[in-house]
């Protein structure tokens, strides 16, 4: 049976490991060298920047990018590694969308969302190949680079339209032999949960909701008195499901061991790590199993560089990962749905005889769900492997080399577990009523669920040569082929030819060209390939004679780029289903007559659905980027600024054909969006005596406006000219205070019942009627117009303190659903709803159990600011002194305390709602969590 290890014993394990490692270090005859971390600082002038299948110095780069290295990331044991990037990179917006361990609850945007269609997510590329990044371990990461303009993105052809995040893994270095061990243990703390009503308040509000619509109260005075005084816990139960079945904290822990180093012949990096994060449920352990949600992950990586000869180098980059997710038999979401939405007086959790309580209306007992439905387990095994060969061809011409790169990625899921079922009993009626069918414990079907294999081949030539002293040329040309195969779908295939050339004259004037000829099988034959060129230029002004000896400015570069990128957007039919190969006409079986036959409902006809669109093509993005990089105070203060102007055309949307045509058609390329804005970043690094100060900041403004779109709506509901992802809302004008106000207002048609306490709306078209035609389009969107981050790291002697903040501005969220979250739409916020006695101070409309459509409609009344500033991460640490390191014969140790999602400044704090994930802790969503941990790092 499956059980998850608790966090106890972690400190003992660390101590034991330290003693072992110390003993090993004392038994070696090797000389111990002392190294110091650079605390996140980098030499801004000589900084190397990762580009697709290569590196460039900062001086050589003409395109828009932002990057950071592994030692600039806070070490917090969270399951989604990209959470550590929040607020760190200009132009890059990270957002949590959920909080379940190992759930992939994240989304990304680069420079806003420049398409209203789906498929606008940037690509994550690990070592040049599009791969999952979330579940890697931080010990594997060398650097993260965000690519933002055409000069950088066109290397990826049709996959470069939405921007890219390029992740490189660590490699061994000559002479830098290092063994490193990390151990962290801590907990995740649940917050921002819906506040449940007690039974008395629930019954009182329920009665009010009925009387508001002219119905008889459901609960008598005797029942209300019983709930208030708890006279009979079985007849008048008062349950707080969250307190009983949800822990305040859940354990999390992480361990990682890495080896790296090398010689002139072989360089190596290897890591093995373990991560364990527990779920928040209580009372999940039974004699046979523990059904609590849990996530365990095992990561292993080995990267090898081997110089076979003086001219041939082979490289192996391989990562293996195994993830195990344990879940309640009924499913975590189903259990949370019950905990949040079950009335507190639904039934006693346990009857007097110890049986599960329940009724005909409420048959899901939380304790039964956790202890009587078994558990399911999903094991995901992942292999990410790449091999590369680089052969120098100097015998042909100096600086020429041939390159072959092949990747093979495999993903497989295996499911198993135990199942059982329970019965519930309503013992408040005679005879006793029984619901659900109990089932004894049994094995769930054990089977492989998915199996996906991806392989990608790149081959071509590189040329790197300096001619004389003034001319430097770096060029690359590659051919690429990609195949993704799975047993339950057609293969995905693409091919591409790409070339890149960078020229530098006197290391001051730079010109770059890049172009890709990229194609996909998703488009009709003859229309599958597109050409995506870009040009870039740079001027390193600080090397000019008139600035060479300037004391204030140590580095100054102007740069710019322009080009056209492409993006494969998924195609959907009228029902929202993804259409593969949308140029083909599909036939669907349905009831109906054949031509020349008599109609019968049992006749099976074949209908055209949808009709193919052979003209379907990719989105096109024309990108202009103008930027500058400047350093002051001998590099202590650095600053980068980029202005961008992008226009995306051929966005997919509905065909909007007249109904008389009689068929549905796959989407057509009909939309256009303009994206303009700027992003900036800065850093300051300075040592003042024994204090080392390092700061960072970034800021992005992005305005994404729809220019063209196929629509069939009223003028006041058109999205053209509006921000991407805006919505239609009724304009709220307050709350009706009496029947006279209702009689004097336009007729309300959004609900069959409108009474005092309901919302009042503006008659936009002046027809004396409030209906669907009065909703208006708006620029209210949950996509922020501004996002930023800033942080610092201060080191004094052996002590260090760091923090990173992230904020967004210009974001609006609709809380109408959240205001009515809970059993029968009632929660603590309902206590502030309108009544005749609270009319002057009521915050919300009247309570309504039914006929409440007027108040739940999308309206400006429920729009709230989604702006926030979060302390994303913080860390305080102590590093051992050089003197102690020499005595213990290791390279150093550091003990630290870290945290993630520590606090939030938001206008929604008073409502206890997280502005980033407002559904967290409501409906069926996992609660919002904060993570705190203590850790140690030892290096040998």
Average pLDDT over residues 475-493: 92
d(CA 727, CA 781): 7
Lowest pLDDT segment from 120-124, 344-348, 479-483, 715-719: 120-124
Average pLDDT over residues 385-404: 96
Give the percent of the chain with pLDDT over 90.
Answer: 76
Instruction: Read off the tokens for 902.
Output: 């520590």
Q: How many CB atoms lie within 10 A of CB 92?
A: 26
Per-residue buried b or exposed e for 644-680, using 16+ beta carbons within 10 Å of the residue's own CB: bebbbbbbbbbbeeeeeeeebbbbbbbbbbbbbbbbb
- The pLDDT of residue 21 is 35
- The pLDDT of residue 43 is 44
Average pLDDT over residues 827-844: 93
Looking at per-residue pLDDT, the higher value among 367 and 40 belongs to 367
d(CA 122, CA 148): 10
How confident is residue 401, by pLDDT bands cut at 50, 70 and 90? very high
How confident is residue 576, by pLDDT bands cut at 50, 70 and 90? low
Give the percent of the chain with pLDDT over 70.
Answer: 92
Average pLDDT over residues 381-403: 96
Contacts of 170 (CB under 8 A, 6+ apart): 70, 139, 140, 141, 142, 258, 260, 269, 271, 303
d(CA 523, CA 582): 7
Contacts of 140 (CB under 8 A, 6+ apart): 169, 170, 271, 273, 299, 301, 319
Instruction: Read off the tokens for 546.
Output: 């008139």
pLDDT at 673 over 50: yes
DSSP 334-365: HHHHHHHHS-TTS--SB-TTSPBB--SS----
The DSSP symbol for 171 reads -
d(CA 822, CA 343): 8
447 phi and psi angles, rounded to 5 deg? -160, 155
d(CA 755, CA 686): 66
Average pLDDT over residues 564-577: 79
Measured torsion, CA atoms of residues 814, 817, 821, 826, in degrees rounded to the nearest 10: 100
- The pLDDT of residue 74 is 83
Pairing of strands 471-486, 447-467: antiparallel
Average pLDDT over residues 519-530: 93
- The pLDDT of residue 899 is 95
d(CA 853, CA 749): 9
Q: What is the mean pLDDT of the chain?
A: 90
Of 183, 171, 164, 165, nearest to 141 by C-alpha is 171
- The pLDDT of residue 103 is 75
Distances (CA, A) of 306 to 262, 303, 311, 459, 724: 10, 10, 11, 19, 50
Q: How far is CA 833 from the centre of its chain?
A: 35
How confident is residue 594, by pLDDT bands cut at 50, 70 and 90? low
The DSSP symbol for 913 reads -
Looking at per-residue pLDDT, the higher value among 223 and 599 belongs to 223
- The pLDDT of residue 791 is 96
SS3 content of the chain, % helix, strand, coil (to 5): 15, 45, 40
d(CA 118, CA 102): 24
Average pLDDT over residues 678-706: 95
Supply the Cα-derived Rg of the chain in whole angstroms: 31
The model's pLDDT over 785-821, given as tens digits with 9 standing for 90+, comes to 999 999 999 999 999 999 999 999 999 999 999 999 9
Distances (CA, A) of 472 to 501, 507, 511, 537, 538: 11, 8, 11, 14, 14
Instruction: Read off the tokens for 652.
Output: 């997919």
The DSSP symbol for 846 reads P
Q: How far is CA 207 from the centre of its chain?
A: 42
How confident is residue 4, by pLDDT bands cut at 50, 70 and 90? very low
The number of CA neighbours under 13 Å toward the Cβ of 660 is 0
Lowest pLDDT segment from 30-44, 56-70, 711-725: 30-44
How confident is residue 605, by pLDDT bands cut at 50, 70 and 90? low
Lowest pLDDT segment from 355-359, 497-501, 649-653: 649-653
Lowest pLDDT segment from 31-35, 100-104, 620-624, 728-732: 31-35
pLDDT at 36 over 70: no
Whether the Cβ atoms of residue 750 and residue 769 lie closer than 8 Å to each other: no
Pairing of strands 249-262, 400-421: unpaired
φ/ψ region of 330 (left if φ > 0, alpha if ψ in -120 to 50, else beta) reads: alpha
pTM of the model: 0.90
Looking at per-residue pLDDT, the higher value among 74 and 701 belongs to 701
How confident is residue 836, by pLDDT bands cut at 50, 70 and 90? very high
Whether the Cβ atoms of residue 71 and residue 660 lie closer than 8 Å to each other: no
- The pLDDT of residue 589 is 65
The model's pLDDT over 756-793, given as tens digits with 9 standing for 90+, comes to 999 999 999 999 999 999 999 999 999 999 999 999 99
């Amino acid at each position: 049976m499956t059980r998850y290890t608790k966090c106890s014993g972690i400190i003992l394990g660390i101590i034991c490991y330290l003693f072992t490692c110390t003993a090993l270090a004392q038994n070696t005859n090797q000389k111990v060298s002392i190294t110091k971390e650079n605390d996140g600082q980098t030499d801004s002038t000589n900084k190397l920047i990762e580009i697709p299948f290569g590196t460039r110095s900062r001086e050589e780069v003409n395109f828009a990018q932002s990057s950071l290295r592994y030692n600039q990331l806070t070490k917090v044991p969270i399951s989604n590694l990209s959470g550590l990037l929040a607020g760190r990179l200009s132009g890059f917006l990270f957002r949590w969308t959920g909080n379940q361990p190992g759930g992939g609850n994240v989304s990304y945007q680069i420079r806003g969302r420049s398409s209203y269609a789906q498929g606008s997510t940037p690509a994550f590329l690990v070592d040049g190949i599009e791969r999952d990044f979330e579940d890697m371990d931080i010990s594997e990461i060398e650097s993260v680079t965000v690519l933002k303009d055409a000069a950088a993105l066109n290397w990826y052809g049709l996959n470069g339209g939405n921007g890219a995040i390029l992740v490189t893994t660590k490699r061994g270095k000559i002479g830098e032999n290092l063994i490193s061990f990390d151990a962290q243990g801590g907990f995740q703390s649940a917050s921002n949960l819906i506040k449940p009503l007690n039974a008395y308040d629930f019954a009182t509000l329920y009665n009010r909701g009925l009387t508001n619509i002219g119905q008889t109260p459901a609960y008598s005075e005797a029942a209300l008195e019983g709930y208030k005084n708890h006279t009979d816990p079985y007849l008048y139960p008062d349950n707080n499901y969250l307190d009983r079945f949800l822990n305040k904290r859940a354990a999390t822990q992480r361990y990682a061991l890495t080896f790296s180093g090398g010689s002139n012949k072989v360089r190596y990096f290897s890591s093995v790590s373990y991560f364990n994060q527990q779920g928040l449920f209580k009372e999940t352990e039974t004699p046979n199993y523990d059904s609590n949600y849990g996530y365990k992950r095992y990561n292993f990586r080995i990267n090898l560089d081997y110089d076979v000869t003086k001219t041939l180098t082979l490289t192996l980059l391989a990562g293996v990962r195994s993830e195990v997710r344990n879940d309640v038999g009924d499913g975590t979401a189903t259990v949370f749905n019950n905990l949040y939405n079950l009335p507190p007086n639904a039934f006693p959790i346990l009857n007097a005889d110890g049986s599960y309580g329940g009724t005909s209306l409420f048959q899901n007992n939380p304790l039964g769900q956790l202890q009587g439905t078994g558990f399911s387990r999903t094991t995901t095994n992942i292999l990410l492997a790449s091999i590369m060969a680089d052969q120098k061809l100097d015998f042909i011409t100096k600086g020429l080399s041939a390159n072959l790169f092949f990747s093979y990625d495999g993903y497989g899921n295996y499911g198993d577990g135990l199942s059982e079922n329970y019965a519930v009993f309503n013992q408040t009626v005679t005879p006793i009523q029984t619901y659900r069918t109990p089932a004894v414990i049994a094995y769930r079907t054990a089977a492989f669920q998915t199996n996906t294999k991806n392989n990608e081949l790149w081959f071509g030539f590189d040329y790197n040569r300096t001619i004389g002293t003034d001319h430097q040329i770096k060029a690359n040309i590659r051919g690429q082929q990609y195949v993704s195969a799975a047993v339950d779908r057609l293969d995905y295939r693409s091919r591409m030819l790409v070339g890149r050339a960078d020229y530098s004259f006197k290391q001051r004037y730079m010109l770059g060209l890049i172009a890709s000829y990229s194609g996909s099988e998703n488009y009709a034959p003859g229309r599958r390939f597109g050409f995506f060129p870009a040009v870039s230029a740079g001027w390193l002004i600080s090397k000019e004679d008139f600035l060479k000896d300037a004391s204030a400015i140590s580095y100054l570069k102007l740069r710019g780029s322009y080009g056209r990128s492409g993006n494969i957007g998924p195609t959907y039919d009228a029902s929202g289903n993804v259409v593969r190969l949308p140029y083909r006409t599909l036939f669907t079986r349905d009831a109906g007559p054949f031509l020349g036959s008599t109609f019968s409902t049992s006749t099976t006809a074949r209908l055209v659905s949808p009709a193919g669109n052979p003209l379907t093509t990719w989105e096109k993005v024309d990108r202009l980027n103008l930027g500058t990089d400047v350093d002051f105070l001998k590099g202590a203060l650095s600053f980068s600024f980029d202005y961008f102007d992008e226009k995306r055309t051929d966005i997919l949307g509905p065909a909007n054909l007249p109904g008389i045509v009689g068929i549905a058609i796959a989407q057509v390329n009909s939309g256009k969006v303009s994206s303009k804005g700027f992003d900036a970043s800065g850093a300051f690094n300075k040592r003042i005596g024994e204090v080392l100060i390092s700061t960072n900041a970034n800021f992005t403004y992005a305005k994404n406006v729809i220019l063209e779109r196929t629509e069939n709506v009223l003028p006041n509901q058109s999205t053209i000219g509006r921000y991407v992802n805006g919505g239609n809302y009724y304009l709220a004008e307050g709350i009706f205070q009496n029947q006279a106000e209702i009689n004097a207002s336009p007729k309300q048609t959004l609900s069959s019942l409108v009474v005092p306490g309901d919302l009042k709306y503006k008659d936009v078209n002046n027809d004396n009627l409030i209906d669907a035609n009065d909703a208006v389009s708006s620029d209210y969107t949950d996509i922020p117009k501004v996002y930023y981050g800033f942080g610092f790291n201060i080191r004094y002697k052996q002590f260090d303190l760091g923090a990173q903040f992230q904020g967004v501005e210009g974001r609006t969220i609709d809380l109408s659903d959240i205001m009515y979250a809970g059993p029968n739409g009632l929660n603590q916020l309902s206590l502030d709803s309108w009544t005749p006695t609270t009319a002057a101070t009521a915050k919300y409309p009247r309570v309504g159990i039914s006929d409440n459509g007027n108040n739940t409609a999308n309206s400006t009344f429920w729009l709230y600011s989604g702006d926030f500033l979060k302390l994303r991460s913080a860390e305080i640490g102590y590093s051992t002194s050089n003197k102690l390191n020499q005595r213990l014969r290791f390279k150093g140790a550091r003990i630290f305390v870290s945290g993630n999602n520590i606090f939030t400044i938001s206008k929604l704090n008073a409502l206890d709602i997280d502005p980033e994930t407002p559904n967290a802790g409501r409906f069926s969503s996992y609660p919002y969590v904060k993570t705190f941990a203590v850790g140690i790092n030892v290096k040998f």
